[in-house]
Amino acid sequence: MYSDFDREIGEERVEQERQARIRAASAALKAEGREECDCGATISAARRRVYPSATRCLECQQIAEKEAYLR
């Protein structure tokens, strides 16, 4: 059985991990993307403006998301 102290330590660790994931996601959004996708297409200026860290064109991103969803 866990004590209140153990529970507090666990909750604190969960919060620290959550904050670390938020910081990592924020940094990824601010990271510089690319102008060209792996498929050779140019990543549109509008996409790069909305999502500066984009590394895929819209079409390739949609394919990647569908594949990830179907797993």
| Residue the block writes with tokens 């919060």 | 15
Percent of the chain with pLDDT over 90: 54
* Domain edges within the chain: 1-30, 33-71
- Distance in angstroms (rounded) separating the CA atoms of residues 14 and 6: 12
pLDDT in tens, 15-29: 999 999 999 888 877
Q: What is the pTM of this model?
A: 0.53
Q: Which token pair is 26?
A: 């924020």
Kindly state the tokens that stand for 61: 């991103």
pLDDT for the residue numbered 51: 87
pLDDT tens per residue, range 30-49: 777 789 999 999 999 999 88
Task: Catalogue the long-range contacts made by 53-59 (C-beta closer than 8 Å, 24 or more residues apart).
Answer: 53/28, 53/29
